[in-house]
Chain A
């Protein structure tokens, strides 16, 4: 009877765990770089900065609107093609394989993540009453000070559940990095599974590892959220 071979599944755990550092690396880099880029782009949109505003809309639209796997392929196959054609045109001798798959994955994930976080940051900032910024100015703060001390800390609290959502989405999305050769949790699982067609066992182990990772980060996020809400009056402590 084709049930689940728990012993086989257990034996694979240490091997599959070796993928965790790559999963975390991609997730965390994409989160941090994405949040920085996303915040800048959110301001372009909120203040309707000419040209940059339109470019941001286009950027967000494209990277949100196309499947990540397609973006990975476009970067993975496209960058060497671009370098090769540059070589042809300008008689350069650049090595088309100069960027490792890991670097390509980090770039692709950061850009993709930024497009999502732009919207998260924007919606959070706009949820804060605009009168507060005016009040900040009324007591002599500059716009930057008002943003930094009054608006952003509150926006951060509003955004936290969505940032959490996004972070956990990134953990799972990082599994696609395997398509360009990164040996993350799902990548190792599939290689192991193939020899005995034991996809179910290895997928279950992978799923549990993803779940465990998410639970750990959910606990951390819940702590931050609780802290942020407790200190709501002095929210800048946590921002």
Chain B
């Protein structure tokens, strides 16, 4: 009896979630409204909120530039936490989601990724000023990495590394780890390194002036918008505009504005350009 009840609910839930198609409204001026889910776990300079709690940052300025060149659409921005946004894109509530999403094969199976990334995120290992033996993830297998979140792109990189390498990096999981707390752990020697986005570290460092440095850049991860799987036309159009925006210098300019570095250049060039950390 109980088992039947559970089965019944499971079937109902599946039907609820799978019987879905794109929900597209139309604005008064005939433009098609595109619902863009914006991640509430803000991560400046990619994304932050302004005084009126409207989203702003590199992500939003990129989308506004895209919207300008696609007059048939009107983008509407909706806040929501990342997990909820992804469920919403999968269920057809939103047309696309933005939050510096990294790509991996499992994710590409579930969502539609455009070909061209709209930016890059540089990940690195942050170590104590006096530490000189940590430059890459290989150096971390016998060291202590500060706690990492269970979800998000950084975690995916670590999971991928641990699947391909033996010995793996020992991981401690905490939900929404406090970056400040993690960095102070390294400064006081309770952990050996923090795996973090370089831009995030830079911004915190401006505030805190800790005795830390970047031990090594681990990767330059392309970041994408993700689409509802049957929105191939929309994805194609946006992909095309993104390529244009990179070629005509709009996006590199935005990158300079928000990050102080054009991350569309090669990693070596970036390092030469003074992105060296001491």
A77, B159: Cβ atoms closer than 8 Å: no
B87, A96: Cβ atoms closer than 8 Å: no
Verify if A66 is at the interface (C-beta below 8 Å from B): no
Verify if B173 is at the interface (C-beta below 8 Å from A): yes
What distance in Å separates the Cβ of B14 from its nearest Cβ neighbour in chain A? 5
What distance in Å separates the Cβ of A178 from its nearest Cβ neighbour in chain B? 6
Contact of A181 among B91, B109, B174, B181 (CB under 8 A): B174
Verify if A208 is at the interface (C-beta below 8 Å from B): yes
A215 to B4 Cα, complex, angstroms: 13
Q: Is the interface of A mostly helix, strand, loop or mixed?
A: helix
B2, A178: Cβ atoms closer than 8 Å: no
B173, A1: Cβ atoms closer than 8 Å: no
B159 nearest in chain A by CB position = A195
Verify if B39 is at the interface (C-beta below 8 Å from A): no
| Interface segment, one of B115-123, B144-152, B258-266 | B144-152
B188 contact set on A, CB distance < 8 A: 84
Verify if B172 is at the interface (C-beta below 8 Å from A): yes
Within 8 A of A (CB), among B163-205: 172-176, 178, 181, 188, 190
Contact of B107 among A84, A179, A196 (CB under 8 A): A196
A96 to B92 Cα, complex, angstroms: 47
For B1-42 the 0/1 string (1 means CB < 8 A from A) is 010001001100110011010000000000000000000000
Verify if A70 is at the interface (C-beta below 8 Å from B): no
Within 8 A of B (CB), among A158-207: 178-181, 183, 187, 190-191, 193-200, 204
Give the size of the chain B interface in residues (CB under 8 angstroms): 42
A188 nearest in chain B by CB position = B150
Verify if B243 is at the interface (C-beta below 8 Å from A): no
What distance in Å separates the Cβ of A84 from its nearest Cβ neighbour in chain B? 8
A178, B86: Cβ atoms closer than 8 Å: no
Within 8 A of B (CB), among A57-78: 77
B178 contact set on A, CB distance < 8 A: 77
Within 8 A of A (CB), among B202-247: 226, 228-230
| Interface segment, one of A2-10, A15-23, A226-234 | A2-10
What distance in Å separates the Cβ of B90 from its nearest Cβ neighbour in chain A? 4
A190, B151: Cβ atoms closer than 8 Å: yes
A-B contact pairs, 22 of them (CB 8 A): A1-B230, A2-B228, A77-B181, A179-B175, A180-B175, A181-B172, A181-B173, A187-B150, A190-B150, A190-B151, A191-B150, A191-B173, A193-B83, A194-B151, A196-B106, A196-B110, A197-B111, A204-B13, A208-B6, A211-B6, A211-B9, A215-B2
Q: Give 18 A-B pairs besides A2-B111, A3-B20, A178-B175 with Cβ atoms closer than 8 angstroms.
A: A2-B18, A6-B14, A96-B190, A178-B173, A183-B173, A191-B150, A191-B173, A194-B150, A194-B152, A195-B156, A195-B159, A196-B106, A196-B107, A199-B83, A200-B87, A204-B13, A208-B9, A208-B10
